[in-house]
Amino acid sequence: DTEVTQTPKHLVMGMTNKKSLKCEQHMGHRAMYWYKQKAKKPPELMFVYSYEKLSINESVPSRFSPECPNSSLLNLHLHALQPEDSALYLCASSLMNTGELFFGEGSRLTVL
Amino acid sequence: AQSVTQPDIHITVSEGASLELRCNYSYGATPYLFWYVQSPGQGLQLLLKYFSGDTLVQGIKGFEAEFKRSQSSFNLRKPSVHWSDAAEYFCAATGTASKLTFGTGTRLQVTL
């Protein structure tokens, strides 16, 4: 199994809503990542979890709240988002110390 | 500062023609190097990687890349392009396993 599964694939939310993006992998990877990608741009790193602990936060606004309940799951909790937060949110995982990432297909978020 | 440069924003090739996508990096030491491909609305897929050793690396889908230390380059090549190769291609590098630096991407269009 070499898949990273992200749900939902599409999400539309208002600025006052609370929603969550979910990511799951069963490759035994111990590092998991959230990236944000705007149209025609490369992915931008948001958070990195290593062994279920947050190791990197790229100065992301607190309206984005990551959570790693176990080594296979990664969530991104969303609250009070702005329209400019509309983007493709990509989850990825990797074996430690390789830099080789396996990406999910992403969750397309639209904030109204 | 660490950076990855992809000089070509958009390239168009005919099906069956050869392809070369350029990538240059600026790092203090030789980083780990990667090429990823992204089809529209999809996540990123790893094409190939270079860690050390043989400077010509083979990847999936018939792609190869050559690492040239003297030119700080890691160009991607394919002898004969197929229409299904049309996508966005990202070169990436990392000096530490947790943070990839992506280039701005090259959009490949294939004409029939």
* pLDDT tens sequence across A55-74: 999 999 999 999 999 999 99
Residues of chain B with C-beta less than 8 angstroms from the C-beta of A104:
43
- Please state whether the peptide bond connecting residue A8 to the residue before it is cis, i.e. omega within 30 degrees of 0: yes
Give how far the C-alpha of residue B65 lies from the chain's centroid of Cα atoms, to the nearest Å: 7
Is-contact B57 B64, C-beta < 8 A?
yes
Q: What residues pair up with A13 in beta bridges, in sequence order?
A: A111
**Interface of chain B toward chain A, CB-CB under 8 angstroms:** 32, 34, 36, 41-46, 49, 90, 94, 96-100, 102-105
* pLDDT tens sequence across A22-55: 999 999 999 999 999 999 999 999 999 999 999 9
Q: Is 70 exceeded by the pLDDT of residue A1?
A: no
Radius of gyration over every alpha carbon of chain A, rounded to an integer in angstroms: 13
Structure tokens at B108: 């490949």
Residue from A101, A102, A107, A108 whose CB has the most chain B CBs within 10 Å, to mutate: A101
Give how far the C-alpha of residue B5 lies from the chain's centroid of Cα atoms, to the nearest Å: 11
CB proximity A7 to B under 8 Å: no
* CA atoms of A12 and A112, how far apart (whole Å): 7
Over range A78-86, report the average pLDDT: 95
> Which residue of chain B comes nearest to A37, CA vs CA?
B43
Closest-CA distance of chain B to residue A19, Å = 21
CA torsion sign for A95, A97, A100, A106 is positive
Is-contact A110 A89, C-beta < 8 A?
no
Nearest to B24 by CA among B58, B72, B92, B95: B72
Residues of chain B with C-beta less than 8 angstroms from the C-beta of A41:
104-105
Closest-CA distance of chain B to residue A87, Å = 11
CA torsion sign for B58, B98, A57, A54 is positive
Q: What is the pLDDT along chain B (112 residues), one digit of tens a residue?
A: 789 999 999 999 999 999 999 999 998 888 899 999 999 888 999 999 999 899 999 999 999 999 999 999 999 999 999 999 999 999 999 887 568 999 999 999 999 9
